[in-house]
Amino acid sequence: MTTFNSYVPKRSIKLLECWINELHLEIKVTKPRKSKLGDFKVIGDQLIISINNNLNKYAFLITLVHEIAHAFVFQKYQNTVLPHSRSWKLTYKALMLNFLTTDYFPDDILKVLCKHMIYPSASSYSDISLVKVLRKYDLLKKHTLSDINIGDIFRISSGKQFVKGNRIRKRYKCIEYSTNKVYLFHPLADVIKVND
């Protein structure tokens, strides 16, 4: 089984291992999943956390602490509270406070992460500012829809091409190039810009 140690900042390992041992957690590093960065499950008596292996060390640490907070809440309340309840938010904030220094995160991430932790959401992916600053540290540089200009043509992994349109609330209205059908895209959708 792959250990998580090589996926997080070195200074964080000791405290993470302490929590993992206290909770008797099994940590699995998995292939990337499109719908989630990590998850927490209970199978029988075993508490299991899985985290995608394509996250940079800062995103991995944030995701791992998010899931460890779920484990602590489960240990205390079992299934009597909702997954992202007030209890989870307070636990997540308390755990993350241990890492909110430049010993663990670069200044640019720390600034955005501190704001995020005031009202942490169920998914760090919903905080566009946090995702953008974390992506700067990805080994494989990707473009997101928010990186390109309105009117630019882009392609997605399926090969379909689109023209980027205006933002409508939280998403961009984009037109499929060959069919003129309208699609709404999240600003952080991975895209490939098509050269003019």
On average, the pLDDT of the chain sits at 91
Q: What is the pLDDT of residue 132?
A: 87
Tokens representing 184 are: 């709404």
Please say whether the beta carbons of 75 and 66 come within 8 A.
no
Contact 187, 171 (CB under 8 A): yes
* Per-residue pLDDT reduced to its tens digit, 160-191: 999 999 999 889 999 998 999 999 999 888 88
User: If DSSP codes are grouped into helix, strand and coil, which group holds residue 89?
Assistant: helix
Give the per-residue pLDDT at 141. 64
pLDDT tens, per residue, the chain with 196 residues: 458 999 999 999 999 999 999 999 999 999 988 789 999 999 999 999 999 998 999 999 999 999 999 999 999 999 888 889 999 999 999 999 999 999 999 999 999 999 999 999 888 778 889 988 998 898 766 778 888 899 999 988 788 999 999 999 889 999 998 999 999 999 888 888 886 4
What is residue 111's three-state secondary structure?
A: helix
pLDDT of residue 195: 65
Among the residues of the chain, which ranges form H helices?
Answer: 13-23, 57-77, 86-96, 107-116, 128-135
Q: What predicted TM-score, i.e. pTM, was given to this entire model?
A: 0.78
Per residue, the 3-state secondary structure of 12-35, as one string, reads HHHHHHHHHHHHCEEEEEECCCCC
